[in-house]
Amino acid sequence: MTQFLSANDAPDINALINSAKAFKADPFGQQPGRQKMVINLFFNSSLRTRMSTEKAARQLGADVITYDASGGWGIEFADGSVMNGNTAEHVREAAGVLSQYCDVLCVRSFPSLEDRAADYEDRVMKSFVKYATVPVVSLESATRHPLQSLTDCLTIAEHRTVARPKVVLTWAPHPRRLPQCVSNSFAEWMRAWGEVDLIVANPPGFNLAPAFAPKNIVTHDQRAAFAGADFIYAKNWSAYDEYGATTTNFGDWMIDEEKMTLTNNAYFMHCLPVRRNVVVSDGVLDGDRSLVLQQANNRTWAAQAVLASLL
């Protein structure tokens, strides 16, 4: 692996899952990070990604610097721009400088949700890849969250009781408009992994980009989708078609105990952070089929598998 931005960068997902399992069993078992440096650059908030990636780097023997880029110099991404506005340095210099300070560069940069073409070009992440001379890891870009998705594969692999579980990715209400990244990436990885039957349930107008969720796996009937499901993966996302739009007219999309009875005693999954009693009821989140804390734990092992491969 030379970078980690999408499922395309992981030619063998089961090998990564097995590597993550090995680190979970023996966190300090390999130290490919000794005398190496990992830099984490965050343009947006984080709890899990920040802590688990730092922990992963340290357990591999690496040193790690985390930088809150939202409080730093404004970075320019447009080529040929006359920089007489608010941006103080160009990504060409920023990426070039940081590459001299580290062996792996990890970046989080959410979408604008204003300009679909710009967001779906993944310009920020791609610019760091273009101008960095070290491997780049996505900590959630404008379109994807691959470390979360690898974690989700690991968590499903650990908990499935049938070879090919039914997995439902369901839209859920939220008071703010959120990125499509987690959901795009989850669908991308489930399909690339090829070991689950994936259905995506969302209200009309909220279909994900067809490249991630083709029409034949999408339904607008959440209750029908839940029938016989082994895993329910909940997430809000804003609209792709009417880009960035959301609704406060949520309808009956929150996940609660009654809906979970439609499933095959399914596990409940969410990447966190989650809005209680908006996305999911307390009863489901605190219930014994909720995997949200196990998922957050698995973030460390997934990050360790990826960083070990790149270091």
Ligand X SMILES: NCCC[C@H](NC(=O)CCC(=O)O)C(=O)O
Ligand Y SMILES: NC(=O)OP(=O)(O)O
Binding site for ligand Y (CB under 6 A): 46-49, 148, 271-273
- Cis amide linkage into residue 273, ω under 30° from 0: yes
Q: Considering the rule CB under 6 A, would residue 292 count as an interface residue with ligand X?
A: no
Residue in the block written with tokens 């922990």: 55
**Is 187 one of the binding residues for ligand X (CB under 6 A)?**
no
215 interacts with ligand X by CB under 6 A: no
Out of 245, 273, 276, 277, the only residue in the binding site for ligand X (CB under 6 A) is: 273
Radius of gyration of the chain, Cα coordinates, nearest whole angstrom:
19
Site for ligand X contains 230 (CB under 6 A): no
What, of ligand Y, ligand X, none, does residue 47 touch, CB below 5 to 8 Å by kind? ligand Y
Q: Whose Cβ is closer to ligand X: residue 172's or residue 311's?
A: 172
> CA distances (Å), 71 to each of 38, 68, 120, 178, in order?
20, 6, 25, 22
Q: 10 Å Cβ neighbour count for 283?
A: 14
Nearer to ligand Y, 38 or 218 (CB): 38
CA nearest to 132, candidates 160, 107, 96: 96
Nearest alpha carbon to residue 185 among 224, 220, 231, 153: 153
Which sign, positive or negative, has the C-alpha torsion 293, 297, 299, 305?
negative
Rounded to the nearest whole angstrom, what is the least distance from the CB of residue 261 to ligand X in the complex?
Answer: 27
- Two structure tokens written together for 207: 């279909």
Q: Does 275 bind ligand X (CB under 6 A)?
A: yes
Which of ligand X, ligand Y, none is residue 144 near (CB under 5 to 8 Å by kind)? none
Flag whether 220 is marked binding: no
Which member of 135, 165, 173, 179 binds ligand X (CB under 6 A)?
A: 179
x/- letters, 124..143, toward ligand X (CB under 6 A)? ----------------x---
The distance of closest approach from Cβ of residue 52 to ligand Y in the complex, given in angstroms and rounded to an integer, is 8
Calculate the CA 291 to chain-centre distance. Answer: 16
Complex with ligand Y: residue 24 or 92, whichever CB lies closer: 24
Query: Phi/psi of residue 233, each to 5°?
Result: -110, 110
Q: Residue 122 binds what, of ligand Y, ligand X, none (CB under 5 to 8 Å, by partner type)?
A: none
Find out whether 58 is annotated in a ligand binding site: no
Q: Is 168 helix (H, G, I), strand (E, B) or coil?
A: strand
CB of 29 to ligand X, least distance (A): 28
The residues, any chain, with a CB within 8 Å of residue 87's CB and separated by 6 or more, are 73, 74, 75, 76, 81
**Does an H or E element contain 220, and which?**
none
For ligand X, the binding residues (CB under 6 A) are 140, 145, 176, 178-179, 181-182, 271, 273, 275
Q: Which residues are annotated as a binding site for carbamoyl phosphate?
A: 46-49, 73, 108, 145-148, 271-272, 299
